[in-house]
Structure 1
Amino acid sequence: MTSNGEPGEEFWLFGYGGVVLNRSLIWKPPPHYDQRIPGWVTGYVRRFWQASQDHRGTPEAPGRVVTLIDRAHWASLSDAHAEAPEQVWGVAYRIRAEKVAEVKEYLDIREINGYTIHYAPFHPAAGGPSIRTLVYIGTPDNPQFTGPQDPAQLAEHIHRSAGPSGANRDYLFGLERALDELSPESGDAHVTNLAGRVRAIEARRGEGAVGGDEAASHEFKKVDSVDEQEETEKT
């Protein structure tokens, strides 16, 4: 299948930390993948500027998750974190050919909380030609987009937020760890800065780490159906 679902070519998903199918694809794989490749895309900036009502927050008290922002648009905004790496690191997952139609239908019908489908060229860390990947992005015109925020206030917000998938800070720490594990070059200063601020809040208040699923080792489990993937996510 092609990235558009045409017979005979491949279908890839890019995970950068954004929340789709109530999972963070950079470390929680989609169903039916058979390859996972680290690498990056360019032309974007990763920021914790997407509200989360169904993953790390609630409709009454939304948490915060990451989205990608077109780099030219980001440059026009007033961001306290005024620098961003040229490469946005993440992972690409190839969906098994016989399951592409099932996964695409599942992706199409699920509520994705402000994220929309885009396509971007993905550059494998090991080299070779780029791969056309599907990526979910919370664009600035979606109702969950928050825009620039004061880092100290954003860290406080992440520290106190929680949702059906657990504590917002576990998601932040998990993203930081997942990025660090990809490559010596894959860190993101925005993510690391926020994680450091949240740890400082914990230290001031005498708290320990929350210790949810994102604090554990990242295990990449293959499952046999999208329904089983949902049950795996809940455990």
Structure 2
Amino acid sequence: MSVDNNLADQGSEFWIFGYGSLIWKPPPHFDRRIPGWVTGYVRRFWQASQDHRGTPEAPGRVVTLIERSYWESLTDHHDKPPDKVWGVAYRIIPERVAEVKEYLDIREINGYTIHYTPFYPAPDVDSAQLPNGSREPFKTLVYIGTPDNDQFVGPQDPQGLAEHIYRSEGPSGLNRDYLWGLERALNELSPESGDDHVTDLANRVRAIAEKEGKAAEVLAGLEKVLEKERRHHEQPHLFRKVTSVDEEEETEKKE
């Protein structure tokens, strides 16, 4: 998607937009975190994950962004999504931009490519946190698994997708924890930031856990995972180049 020329002048500032796990698992070396949204896209669990929430033999599912014009040509089994895709923009410390770009490029090798899109800050964001104090949209980098990448799976039956997510697991943990973590993170951004696609899948996965008599067990496990991640990300980042899936969670499977 082309970037609107009528954007706030952000000078040399570098911002990244997170619409998946980046919302609650920040990149290294950021000094500002701004909730808001992008337009012209649809968020869907239509990207396979062979390296974090699944394996090459049994890929999990993570989110990607799909251009709305392309999404409209498909048969989706979920309701029409809103115009806004909520997420978070992070400003990377200027002297660390090159390192963080390399870090993200390595972590997003499994089907994601770089794009730029205008980001609209939420109305209640302090203007002092925005580029030049302007409330105009500003340019952000975003990683997207486009339909032509080999990990894009396209529209799926919602119940089948929920069952797939419930049973998938990879080096970064359970696929359902990723789904529930995203649901919670989105709901915490704003009263209007929830995503019906995400919530529907989360409810279906909870129903599967209930049916199997494991609801209390799996939800307790989720709380432990989220608390561990919260403590980790409150600590200073020890930045290092990563070359394997032994690294912690993906930054943006975004997911």
Q: Where on the TM-score scale, by shorter chain, does this alignment land: which range?
A: 0.7 to 0.9
Which of 133, 137, 142 aligns to 1:130? It is 137
- Displacement over 2 Å in runs of 4+: 105-112, 212-234
Cα shift readout 1:1-33 (whole Å, capped 9, x = no counterpart): xxxxxxx5111010000xxxxxx2111010100
Structure 1 unmatched ranges of 5 or more: 1-7, 18-23
Structure 2 unmatched ranges of 5 or more: 1-10, 126-134, 250-255
Q: How does 1:44-193 map to 2 (within 5 A)?
A: 44-126=41-123, 128-193=135-200
Partner of 1:226: 239
Partner of 1:216: 227
Aligned residues: 221
CA distance in 2 between partners of 1:224 and 1:133 (Å): 22
Report deviation, 1:224: 4.2
Partner of 1:21: none
- SS of residue matched to 1:136: strand
Query: Higher RCO, 1 or 2 (CA under 8 Å, sep at least 6)?
Result: 2
CA distance in 2 between partners of 1:205 and 1:108 (Å): 39
Residue type of the alignment partner of 1:133: T
Report deviation, 1:223: 2.9
In structure 2, the CA distance between the partners of 1:201 and 1:108, relative to structure 1 (3 Å rule), is closer
Report deviation, 1:227: 2.2
Report deviation, 1:218: 6.4
Report deviation, 1:228: 9.1
123-132 vs 188-197, which moves further: 123-132
Report deviation, 1:130: 1.0
- SS of residue matched to 2:75: coil
CA distance in 1 between partners of 2:241 and 2:114 (Å): 24
208-217 vs 222-231, which moves further: 222-231
Preserved CA contact (<8 Å) 2:103 2:241: no
Between the two proteins, what is the percent identity of the paired residues? Answer: 69
26-35 vs 97-106, which moves further: 97-106
Q: Normalised by the size of structure 2, how large is the TM-score?
A: 0.81
Partner of 1:198: 205
Q: Normalised by the size of structure 1, how large is the TM-score?
A: 0.87
In structure 2, the CA distance between the partners of 1:155 and 1:109, relative to structure 1 (3 Å rule), is closer
Preserved CA contact (<8 Å) 2:171 2:246: no
